[in-house]
Amino acid sequence: MSEMLLDTSSPLTRDDFSLFQLPQTFLVDLEDLDRRWKAMQKQVHPDKFSMAGASAQRVAMQWSSRINEAYRRLKTPLTRASYLCELLGSPIEAENNTAMPEAFLIEQMTLRESLDDAQIKEDFERLESLVQAGIAQRQAQCALWLDGRTSAQPQNAAQEVRAWMFLDRFLQDIQKRMAQLSEVNP
């Protein structure tokens, strides 16, 4: 990729994909994203403007912060999927919309009970593997629904993202319990 030039005359508010000159897709080449981020940061890093006036330094800081914010959002699959759903008119609204299909909620209750019953490392590893498989399935569905794009798919992707968020939090709980177990039984 040739040196990327950031048009700092365009608004800071444009979407993250446009900022990095990437198509609005769930599947992103992370190495390409990383190269673009580094090239853009090289252009606007506040240290580069240390001899410029206060106004130029402030603008550089704003651009640097905006680029970092967009990079963090796009480099992580879950936040990228959530952001893409929002751009496509189906915001996740996880704080307000916790409605999930009954079968999914029953599965979550069963997993929680299994976590409560887990006693040994193998129990936690089995649960971790199950949840990671569920997350991988959600990622694959998001890729199909977000990158295939028919009118109903962003709504379906948003539902998958909400389920993925549940699983991601549960995975963190499993890993926390595994760490506690290893502290007790080194």
Task: For the domain covering 16-75, report its CATH number.
Answer: 1.10.287.110
Residue 163 has pLDDT above 80, yes or no: yes
Topology agreement, domain 16-75 and domain 102-184:
no
Tens digits of residue pLDDT in 87-139: 999 999 888 877 788 999 999 999 999 999 998 999 999 999 999 999 999 99
Q: What does the pLDDT average to over 64-77?
A: 95
pLDDT value at position 8?
57
pLDDT value at position 6?
56
pTM for the complete prediction? Answer: 0.84
pLDDT value at position 2?
41
CA atoms of 87 and 24, how far apart (whole Å): 9
Tens digits of residue pLDDT in 20-64: 999 999 999 999 999 999 999 988 887 777 777 778 788 888 889
22 close to 28: Cβ distance less than 8 angstroms: yes
Residue 7 has pLDDT above 80, yes or no: no
In the chain, the largest separation of any two C-alpha atoms, in whole Å, equals: 62
Residue 183 has pLDDT above 90, yes or no: no
Topology classification of domain 102-184: Monooxygenase (1.20.1280)
Token readout for 9 is 């005359």
Question: Domain residue spans in the chain?
Answer: 16-75, 102-184
Spell 136-172 as b/e; 16+ CB within 10 A means b: eebbebbbebbeeeeeebbebbbbbbbbbbbbbebbe
| Band (182; pLDDT cuts 50, 70, 90) | confident
DSSP readout, 94-152?
TTT-----HHHHHHHHHHHHHHHH--SHHHHHHHHHHHHHHHHHHHHHHHHHHHH--TT
Q: What does the pLDDT average to over 136-162?
A: 87
CA atoms of 74 and 112, how far apart (whole Å): 30
